[in-house]
Structure 1
Amino acid sequence: MIPMILSSVSRLRHHSARNFSTFRRQPFSEVSGALGDLGTFLPLLIALATSHAISLSTTLILTGFFNIATGVFFGIPLPVQPMKAIAAVAILKGMSAGEVAAAGIFVGGVIGILSITRLLEFVTRWVPVPVVKGIQVGAGLSLVLASGTKSVSELGWIGPSWGDNRLWIVVTFLALLTVNLGGRLSRVPFALIVTITGIIFGIILTVQSGDRLPAFRVWKPHSSIPDRTEWRTGIIDAGLGQLPLTTLNSIIAVTHLAADLLPEVETPTVTAIGLSVAAMNLIGCWFGGMPVCHGSGGLAAQYKFGARSGASIIFLGVLKLLLGLVFGNSLTGLLNRFPTALLTVMVIAAGLELVSVGESLNSTTRARDLKESMGRMTCISEEESKERWSVMIVTAGLLLAFKNDAVGFLAGMCCHYSYILAHQLNNRSSTSSIQEQQPLLS
């Protein structure tokens, strides 16, 4: 017990030292990276808050606290994101606050049990890397498609306002391409500039429309205890659909992505990530907080825009805490005016960053399973390379086609094990053929 405590204290000290040194060395990059996930966080937060499915002030305060704790304990820019399946069902069906809370508490409880019993580690060892990469690629493409579809349906070339239209998508995307050219331009805090621009536009649009700007509001915590009907509806309609998404994308995939993007930092275990997800929801959902998880898309977004340590999300957490405590629910109107055009480009950039991790699938120095098994070999056979690529594409393709991580996962697993079965049958056939020829040769 004592060695475990000493090890944890040493790890926390190491993470704190790295967080501090990274932030001191590149403060603007860390701040910009902290804001990189707003493209997925804000739209769902606003939609759930305006439908009274969650409390905006409580969500900001609790997710801010979770951001700070995550940055301290893990030392990487691990996001605190909305549970997308629960959010989608809640928005579509107009679920009550109790039903949303029930769904989040259910998912948190199940993930907690899987983590404590170490079943998550077993599942991680059982799932092949091409399937994990397929989930990541599929999630990235889903972000790109969803943001593109939303912008096409809501925005025109010059409307709905001067500050939010497709022209701003073009301008922002060209700015993103310019920043990505490299050199000194790569140090420009793109997400920070876009966020500040969006806030300024939102304030102007709010004033022009005659709506009220955010004002001081005292936070009044309240409980959100589901009744029997809300438990049943929340679990069946939203919780069950969220479970595979959380397990695959927010726990398994995020640990692989952290190892790919930040190989110099100790990668959190799936058990630690699972316990974190469980704790956030078993605490927050009882008080009207939004069900949250650690998504690979958010990690890719924050890394894309400059985050390299836990300092980035500690900064974000402090910012959320202050906004929730000072302004609370009065922020809803302003956040609703944040230009969709700017959010669209940020989501697309995050999605493409997540898709790019598929490039390392067949790299013997970057793919985790190949690095551990190849030994002194420097490449894999062309046949094996094609098979691994096929498994990844099948996983990503079916995930996109059915908009369901579980379907993509099952399709990828079937594809993977079909190749293994085919190899085993071929080996048996070859062995039998050799055994038949031996008597003839003798």
Structure 2
Amino acid sequence: MMEKGVENEKRHSRGSSDPGRRSEGLATAAGGRSLRFDRVELAGAFGDLGTMLPIVIAMILINGLSPTTVFLAFGLFYLLSGFYYGLPVPVQPLKAVGAIAIAYPAIITESVIGASGIIFGALLLVLSLTGLVDRIAKLFSQAVVRGIQLTLGLIFLKKGIELIVSPDLFISGIQGRLAGYPVNLIIGFAVFALILLLLDNRRFPAALAALALGIAAGLALGGLGGRSLSIGPTGMDLIRPSAGDFWTAFIMLILPQIPLTIGNACVGTADTCATLFPKNPLLPKASAGKFALTMGLVNFPAGFFGAVPMCHGTGGLAAHYRFGARTGGAPVMIGFFFVLMALVLGELGFTLLALIPNSVLGVLLVFAGLELCPLLRSLKTNEEYFVALLIAGIALAVPNMAWAFGAGILVDLFIRKVKVRI
């Protein structure tokens, strides 16, 4: 699948010189970069919703966050990423933070979530501006990075399949059966087949077709569920975390998250950019240090308004790429979409996103995982495969992926130091 994606990239690049392709929409950003704004880039823009929406919608519903605050922050961060990097660099919620916040809503309140964003942003700014991120990145060999990517790919596959077979039709928990058959599973099979048929179709992009089918099914199956359809921004408040909020955020949210961020959002994303866009002149910006810088610049102020803490990520990049994104046009388009949804649609926009069935999000996750796993094939020695597979095995057995990354780094250093042969 990765080889197919690279070949599609070549066709995509060749097609951009054709007058017909230019008519679909090219815009030139500062510095002479070309950002494409066509339907294929648009499809790629929505390819990562399977990663984002389950966490974000759950945090809005369970932790009481403002939809406008959350989606405005995501929109502005996506705009920054698209214009600055010129590549389909993703914006995702922090997975460890999201999982813990959803599991302990009585402890992880809006002010604690805000405090975590402030701490997270400040730490990343320090790590980036002092150059420490780039030094830490040297600990992550190719084998360790591929292990991280394989781990995320397998987790995406597992989570995607769980969403497809779930009895709950929507993230809100509503179940659906039709004549005794599980509706969510039926929709999942239909969307999976649809994406396979349209995966390389430029006229009817797969991700857009899947989302359209999902929203239509959600409407038909009563997904509105009496939710608010009001338009206009929801309330936004300045968050003033207490010392206790900062302490709770640091101990419960930041400590488990930082190793994942450095390994995945910084080092992993930089490596995936280099793999997917090997000759792109924009690659020098797509470094671990720069990714830490943009995450810090956005999360620090966003935390004062109670936004969901955000990061980049190798899985999100693979998802955008799998469904057609090749330039910064994709993050710019979805960035504008989220800003519009935050400031104009408000509760209505949130309700429409919540209409997407679990199985549709699950199928998007499955294809994102299938884009990541084959990266393992670039490894050459048994020792490298040993380290990568060890990381994936530990991560699937132990809930905290940071332990897997740490163990993988130590084993990799030991093997190279002692010159072990496997």
Same-fold call, TM cutoff 0.5:
yes
1:178 aligns with 2:171: no
Q: Distance in 1 between matches of 2:257 and 2:177?
A: 36
Quote how far apart the aligned CAs of 1:219 are: 4.5
Alignment of 1:163-202 (within 5 A): 164-180=183-199, 185=201, 188-202=204-218
CA distance 1:325–1:357, change in 2 (3 Å): same
Q: Distance in 2 between matches of 1:309 and 1:125?
A: 27
Deviations 1:374-400, CA, capped at 9 Å, x for gaps: xxxxxxxxxxx1111111111121122
* Of 300, 310, 323, the match for 2:328: 310
Q: Distance in 2 between matches of 1:290 and 1:164?
A: 31
Question: Who is 1:251 aligned against?
Answer: 266
Q: Distance in 1 between matches of 2:223 and 2:85?
A: 41
Quote how far apart the aligned CAs of 1:201 are: 2.5
Q: Distance in 1 between matches of 2:224 and 2:42?
A: 30
Question: Who is 2:129 aligned against?
Answer: 116
Cα root mean square deviation, aligned: 2.2
Larger of the two Rg values belongs to structure: 1
CA distance 1:394–1:62, change in 2 (3 Å): same
Structure 1 unpaired stretches of 5+: 1-10, 363-384, 427-442
* Of 266, 269, 276, the match for 2:294: 276
Q: Is the 8 A contact 1:155 1:164 kept in 2?
A: no
Alignment of 1:236-385 (within 5 A): 236-265=251-280, 266-267=282-283, 268-362=286-380, 385=381
Q: Distance in 1 between matches of 2:223 and 2:49?
A: 23
Question: Who is 2:80 aligned against?
Answer: 69
Alignment of 1:39-78 (within 5 A): 39-78=50-89
Question: Who is 1:147 aligned against?
Answer: 160
Q: Is the 8 A contact 1:30 1:312 kept in 2?
A: yes
Quote how far apart the aligned CAs of 1:317 are: 0.6
- The TM-score, its normalising length taken from structure 1, stands at 0.81
Structure 2 unpaired stretches of 5+: 1-27, 170-174
Greater Cα shift, 263-272 or 310-319: 263-272
Which one-letter code corresponds to 2:278 in the other structure? P
Q: Distance in 1 between matches of 2:202 and 2:231?
A: 38
Q: Distance in 1 between matches of 2:232 and 2:204?
A: 35
DSSP-derived class of the 2:89 partner: coil
Quote how far apart the aligned CAs of 1:248 are: 0.7
Q: Distance in 2 between matches of 1:148 and 1:332?
A: 24
Greater Cα shift, 188-197 or 113-122: 188-197
DSSP-derived class of the 2:63 partner: coil
Q: Distance in 2 between matches of 1:207 and 1:395?
A: 39
Q: Distance in 1 between matches of 2:366 and 2:70?
A: 25
Alignment of 1:426-437 (within 5 A): none
Q: Is the 8 A contact 1:37 1:301 kept in 2?
A: yes
Deviations 1:222-241, CA, capped at 9 Å, x for gaps: 11221122111111111111
CA distance 1:219–1:338, change in 2 (3 Å): same
Question: Who is 1:397 aligned against?
Answer: 393
Quote how far apart the aligned CAs of 1:300 are: 0.5
Q: Distance in 2 between matches of 1:218 and 1:421?
A: 57
Q: Is the 8 A contact 2:165 2:184 kept in 1?
A: no
Structure with greater proportional helix content: 1
Q: Is the 8 A contact 1:155 1:166 kept in 2?
A: no
1:33 aligns with 2:44: yes
CA distance 1:146–1:221, change in 2 (3 Å): same
- The TM-score, its normalising length taken from structure 2, stands at 0.85
Greater Cα shift, 211-220 or 252-261: 211-220
Q: Distance in 2 between matches of 1:395 and 1:12?
A: 40
Question: Who is 1:82 aligned against?
Answer: 93
Count residues in correspondence: 381
Quote how far apart the aligned CAs of 1:337 are: 2.8
Q: Distance in 2 between matches of 1:341 and 1:97?
A: 29
Q: Distance in 1 between matches of 2:261 and 2:389?
A: 21
Q: Distance in 1 between matches of 2:223 and 2:378?
A: 48
Greater Cα shift, 130-139 or 142-151: 142-151
Q: Distance in 1 between matches of 2:396 and 2:250?
A: 24
Q: Is the 8 A contact 1:194 1:342 kept in 2?
A: yes
Q: Distance in 2 between matches of 1:256 and 1:197?
A: 34
Quote how far apart the aligned CAs of 1:101 are: 1.2
Alignment of 1:120-139 (within 5 A): 120-139=133-152
**What percentage of residue pairs aligned between the two structures are identical?**
31
Deviations 1:326-360, CA, capped at 9 Å, x for gaps: 12134444333321111110011111111121122
Quote how far apart the aligned CAs of 1:418 are: 2.7
